[in-house]
Structure 1
Amino acid sequence: MGMDYYNILRVNRNATNEECRKAYRRLAMIWHPDKHRGDKQVAEAKFKEISEAYDVLSDPKKRAIYDEYGEEGLKGNAPSCSRSATSYPAGTSGQNIYPFNSRNAEEIFAEAFLRDFDLAFMAQPKPRRSQTGARKSQGVNVGAANMSQKAPGIERKLECSLEELYTGSTRKINLSRKVITSHGESVTRSETVVIDVKPGWKKGTKITFPKMGDEEVNMIPGDMVFEIDENPHAVYTRVGNDLVVQQKLSLADAIGGTTFKLHTLDDRELTVQLANIVSPGYELLIANEGMPIAREPGSKGHLRIKFDVIFPSTLTEEQRSGIRNILER
């Protein structure tokens, strides 16, 4: 049994060309494969089906053959009629009248919406001439404004810990967006998107899901955009690709040297040996222990250790004298 093109477009057999066009436009926007990444095969099949139905019902000759002989008649295979030209409406050959595969579903989609543009343009007031005979420019580019505009997008902050931005992570996010039903109604639908946060991404990095935002009638669906936001860390501060940490030292350690450990963002224990005397403003730099560099896989920034030297609050006269003797030698 052949396909019921009227049922596919959800129109009755007396539907006008304009009614068929509106029905196709609504369904094509719903079933376009770009909007169904999770189940693209099903969407492609449905999109092709409604495109085929519209291609037949919008063409008077094809529709006449289909109404009389069904889908087989379009291919010149109607069992109840001969294959002579006289068995079909005038102007048709009776053989290979409708080879749908030769017309891409995307081509039909583009033609249908191009027609919308043309109709919108013709409906605009014609530009008037000024008193000098020159044309006024206002209103000429208004045509097709609706279908060339995007519906409002969805913008969200994606809060990430510094650990997530160091090691990377996979985030599943549930949110709601407006979609247009096959009956032209706006409803709210829950969506789940998956974002792979890459090591080294920075605050302000944007992840865009094209046409996954809100939908509005006669408008291109908006985009869904997430912007990385970095949560403050208790120990480390990020400066570009570097990590900065404050380390407290006693005066004895600052002068005499010491060894201490830092817990890294990827759960390692980093042993730091301090051999130099820590003077005011001294900063120890450890290469390749900073943040991963997103555009240079395998590379990292620096770890910059700044020191806060803790001076003793009191000293005995003997201690003062001993320190002075040592420092003045």
Structure 2
Amino acid sequence: MRDFYEILEVDRNVSKEELKKSYKKMAKKYHPDLNPGDKEAESKFKEISYAYEVLSDDSKRQIYDNYGEEGLKGGFSGESSGFGGFSDIFDDIFDIFGGGAGFRTSYRDDRSYPQKGSEISVEIDLDFFEAVFGTEKEINVKVKSKCNHCHGGGNEPGTKKEKCDKCHGSGQIRVEQSSPFGRIVRTTTCDKCQGKGEIIEEPCKKCKSSGIVTNAKKINVKIPAGVDTGNIITLSGQGNEGINGGPKGDIYVYIKVREDSVFKRRSYDLFIDIPISYSDAVLGGIIKIPTLTKIVDYEIPKGTKGGTTFKLKGEGVPVVNKNYKGDLYFTVNILIPKKVSDEERELLEKLRKNDSEIKHEQKSFFDKVKDLFD
């Protein structure tokens, strides 16, 4: 698996500003116009641009950090060379490299280029046990889809579209500018057809020539067992319609889990406090421990101290998409009764007088305290 941080020569905690700075530096080094005919430089340029496209987007970066490149599920293509969204960076490169007569920038400010549809983000609230055991939830989203009136063409059915006479159907025009360093030629989006390459005679009445409409959509989402707050489920290709024949975008489902009043979760392990009686702590015995699916018997040793923690292996939360679970840890707390009968009081008084072990430990403790003040 490719390491995008290594590709951009940054560490994993890099800020957005430092990430951008490193990308600009490498983009200038491997830019195709500075390395004509160099296939290796061209390949490197595409690779660093792809890495930056992922890491500069917060949601995509989180998916990559959690699940690696596989977690993106084909949402991006390393072969994409449109580099949409990088115009600010390439403007900087353009300013620096503009000192050659007839220099031509090769990045594309091109809205006619196929682009992936934009992403949709949704948050789902789950209770503790829904997250532990998995469930299915219905989400309501507004999705941009191809207009069913004009079938995405943008023009009223039965009307024509003509090739733009300014860009000759390419969607791009060349703009020449003079600078102190010479003539600069730049390729940009045609301002007459807005990059579409064609002029619509009669715009579609439903989508206003965009070819896209927004519809409400219900989607059933399968939540795997073991998810936790911060996890993201990717619904690939179910998001907004792509532009100019590009693939549909993705839907990112962000998970938020409510806490439970009994079980406390840390990763895939569970923690619980169990109250026990003084007699069980002293004499030992079998106590009842609740797990996620049942109540089990557990024998604690005699002389168990309050605050002691025990482990039940494999009784924790299922690991997502794996066939094993975390563990359950329970800590015993000794209950002190607020009221005692006369008989109980008499027994406790006898125990206090005859408990030589406790008296010995108390003496050892105060001997140490005394040494502190001598």
Give the TM-score normalised by structure 1: 0.51
Matches within 5 A, 1:2-17: none
The reply to whether residue 208 of structure 1 matches residue 234 of structure 2 is yes
Question: 2:329 is aligned with what amino acid?
Answer: R
Instruction: Kindly indicate whether the alpha-carbon contact (under 8 Å) linking 1:262 and 1:272 is maintained by their aligned counterparts in 2.
Output: yes
Aligned residue in 2 for 1:175 = 141
Q: Deviations over 1:220-274 (max 9, x none)?
A: 53311112222211211111221111112232332233433344323x2322332
Q: CA deviation at 1:212?
A: 1.8
Q: Distance in 1 between matches of 2:351 and 2:336?
A: 13
Residues 54-73 of structure 1, C-alpha deviations (whole Å, 9 max, x = no match)? xxxxxxxxxxxxxxxxxxxx
Distance 1:231 1:202 in 2: 9
Instruction: State which drifts further: 274-283 or 299-308.
Output: 274-283
1:275 aligns with: 301
Aligned to 1:111: none
Q: Give, as a single letter, the amino acid of the residue that structure 2 aligns with 1:290.
A: G
Paired position in structure 2 for 1:245: 272
Three-state SS of the structure 2 residue aligned to 1:200 is coil
> Residue 187 of structure 1 aligns with which residue?
213
Give me the whole-angstrom Cα distance separating, in 2, the residues matched to 1:204 and 1:327.
Answer: 52
Written as runs of structure 1 = structure 2, the 5 A alignment for 1:82-121 is none
Label 1:132 to 1:280 Cα distance change in 2 as closer, same or farther (>3 A).
same
Pick from 215, 238, 250: which aligns with 1:223? 250
Mapped partners of 1:204, 1:144: distance in 2? 36
* Equivalent runs, 1:261-300 vs 2, <5 Å: 261-266=288-293, 268-297=294-323, 299-300=324-325
Give the alignment's TM-score, normalised by structure 2.
0.46
The number of aligned residues is 201
* Whole-angstrom CA distance in 1 between matches of 2:99 and 2:144: 49
Instruction: Find the partner of 1:142 among 108, 114, 127.
Output: 108
Q: Counterpart of 1:328?
A: 356
Structure 1: runs of 5+ lacking an equivalent: 1-113, 118-126
Q: Is the 8 A contact 2:310 2:330 kept in 1?
A: yes
Instruction: Find the partner of 1:309 among 334, 358, 363.
Output: 334
Q: Distance in 1 between matches of 2:325 and 2:309?
A: 18
Establish whether residue 236 from structure 1 lines up as the match of residue 263 from structure 2. yes
Cα distance 1:313–1:282, how it changes in 2: closer, same or farther (>3 A)? same
Letter in 1 for 2:316: G
Distance 1:300 1:326, change over 3 A: farther
CA contact (8 A) 2:116 2:243 kept: no
With over 3 angstroms needed to count, the CA separation of the structure-2 counterparts of 1:320 and 1:217, relative to structure 1, is same
- 1:292 to partner: Cα distance: 1.6
Task: Give how far 1:207 is off.
Answer: 1.5
Q: Is the partner of 1:292 in helix, strand or coil?
A: coil
**Any residues of structure 2 matched to 1:150-165 within 5 Å, and which?**
150-165=116-131
Partner in structure 2 of residue 110 of structure 1: none
The whole-number CA distance in structure 2 between the counterparts of 1:301 and 1:210 is 29
Aligned position for 1:54? none
| Contact 1:251–1:312 (CA under 8 A) maintained in structure 2 | no
What's the Cα RMSD here? 3.3
- Which protein, 1 or 2, shows the higher relative CO under an 8 Å CA cutoff with sep ≥ 6? 2
Displacement after TM superposition at 1:313 (Å): 4.3
User: Are 1:248 and 1:309, in contact at CA under 8 Å, matched by a contact in 2?
Assistant: yes
Structure richer in helix, relative to its length: 1
CA distance in 2, matches of 1:262, 1:270: 5
- Asked if the contact 2:270/2:317 (under 8 Å) is kept, the reply is yes
Runs of 4+ residues over 6 Å off in structure 1: 314-317
Paired-residue identity, %: 21
